[in-house]
Amino acid sequence: MNEPLAERLRPKTLSDYVSQKHLIGENGALTQSLKQGLIPSMIFWGPPGTGKTTLANIIATESGRPFYTLSAISSGVKDVRDVINKAKESGGLFTTKNPILFIDEIHRFSKSQQDSLLQAVEKGWVTLIGATTENPSFEVISALLSRCQVYILNAFNKEDLETLLKRAIENDELISKKNVKLKETSALLRISGGDARKLLNVFELLISSFEEDNIVITDEIVLDKIQNNTVRYDKTGEQHYDIISAFIKSIRGSDPNGAVYWLARMIEGGEDLKFIARRLLISASEDIGNANPTALVIANNTFQAVSTIGYPESRIVLSQCATYLACSPKSNAAYTAINSAQQTVRETGDLSVPLEIRNAPTKLMKELGYGDNYKYAHNYANNFAEQEFLPEGLKNTTFYEPGNNARENAQRDFLKQRWKDKYNY
């Protein structure tokens, strides 16, 4: 039997499906839709091995709908159109039970390939189910995203993974013939990183390494037989989050050596280079901000360059940006300012815009006083005239506190000169 354990244990019904109770549990987001047979086009977003493909198959089976599948790795626009034409011919145009088109790794589709899906989804010729490990906000075009519900699938927790191991021991045609006792599971779960498919494949490899039929699984045995470095860098598991955290914290801590080391770990592990570039963009604003506004320009140009030239040359651009940001003066003043302002908005609601700074495009608005007494700054000395820009009730509130660095100290001096009687700078 050459079929992998993960495939042999793939659930066929929702009742057999493990995890994702927030979607298919008693009060799950998908539960009622599935019961009523009202299946929207949707995108499943989550790490590998969390059951995206399995759930799509079960939805098609239990709804009694024709099921077509494409892989974004090997399919082009012609393949998409061929499948859509087959779906239309199978009755999708004349029945509420329109076919389901499942596209694995939909984030790998180009814009033109995604565009080719729009009419079919809009007209209801197919119900699209896409699966992606990448944030669909970045990787799926907005027109297609607006036509789909996005459902997040989470990495399996400890209980879910142990349930799968027990199923393998009790129900698998091959493993159930052996006397397997799970004494410890920590090492297996750690290696899996919440990926059910990886867990079962590693478990099968482990069981096959024993010649005898009486097998006791301990953490020591797992680490001895399945080395700790089975996956040097799991770009979708725990290391993915730990290493990007170490990378950003090295930049925030002004350590270019730490930054370039963790960058190298990600590159060598096959991390998505655009993911790294996006995090550099965030850091340039969150951790550096107005202490060095050029950092955001460089980070944005880095993202564009990485998107244009690809690997391996883009590693040099990423290194330049990471070391530049690490060596830059730091400030989180812009980050804390927007956090403070948003919190105030949540607490105070929709306060009225002061009349003098409202727009007055019509005669009626002018008669109502919109724009009255507005001071056009450029008509005054130093291009400044003191006036009120905050709603009533928030006057003199300070959200932005410049950081203690050369550039923001200059900003503080500028603000003190302008607002010496209003804000506490």
Higher per-residue confidence, 338 vs 74 = 338
> What is the reported pLDDT for 227?
58
Mean pLDDT of 193-218: 88
pLDDT digits (tens, 9 = 90+) for 175-189: 998 899 999 999 898
396: alpha, beta or left? (left if phi > 0; alpha if psi -120 to 50): left
> What is the reported pLDDT for 229?
43
> What is the reported pLDDT for 93?
44
Q: Which residues pair with 182 in a beta bridge?
A: 217
> What is the reported pLDDT for 291?
95
- Tokens representing 200 are 């079962």
> What is the reported pLDDT for 228?
47
Confidence category of residue 234, pLDDT binned at 50, 70, 90: low
pLDDT digits (tens, 9 = 90+) for 73-112: 777 778 888 888 887 776 544 445 688 999 998 988 888 8
pLDDT digits (tens, 9 = 90+) for 299-327: 999 999 998 887 888 999 999 999 999 99
Q: Which residues pair with 103 in a beta bridge?
A: 70, 130
Per-domain residue ranges of the chain: 20-152, 158-230, 238-326, 344-418
Question: How large a percentage of the chain has pLDDT more than 70?
Answer: 95
> What is the reported pLDDT for 302?
96
- Tokens representing 300 are 């944005």
> What is the reported pLDDT for 253?
93
Average pLDDT, the chain: 87
Confidence category of residue 239, pLDDT binned at 50, 70, 90: low
- Could you give the angle at which helices 314-326 and 273-283 cross, rounded to 10 degrees? 20
Per DSSP, the three-state class of 378 is: helix
> What is the reported pLDDT for 118?
92
CATH number of 20-152: 3.40.50.300
For the 344-418 domain, the top CATH level (class) is mainly alpha
Distance CA 325, CA 284 (A): 7
pLDDT digits (tens, 9 = 90+) for 109-151: 888 889 889 999 988 889 999 999 888 888 889 899 999 999 9
CB 279 within 8 A of CB 319: no
> What is the reported pLDDT for 343?
92
> What is the reported pLDDT for 341?
93
Distance CA 30, CA 8 (A): 26
> What is the reported pLDDT for 261?
93
Topology, domain 158-230: Helicase, Ruva Protein; domain 3 (1.10.8)
> What is the reported pLDDT for 420?
82
Higher per-residue confidence, 375 vs 297 = 297
Higher per-residue confidence, 330 vs 35 = 330
pLDDT digits (tens, 9 = 90+) for 291-306: 999 999 999 999 999 9
> What is the reported pLDDT for 1?
52
pLDDT digits (tens, 9 = 90+) for 9-66: 999 988 889 889 999 988 888 888 888 878 899 999 988 889 999 999 999 888 888 8
The answer, yes or no, to whether residue 235 has pLDDT greater than 70, is no
Distance CA 106, CA 77 (A): 13
Distance CA 391, CA 90 (A): 59
The answer, yes or no, to whether residue 236 has pLDDT greater than 70, is no
Mean pLDDT of 357-373: 83
> What is the reported pLDDT for 271?
84
Question: What CATH architecture applies to the domain 238-326?
Answer: Up-down Bundle (1.20)
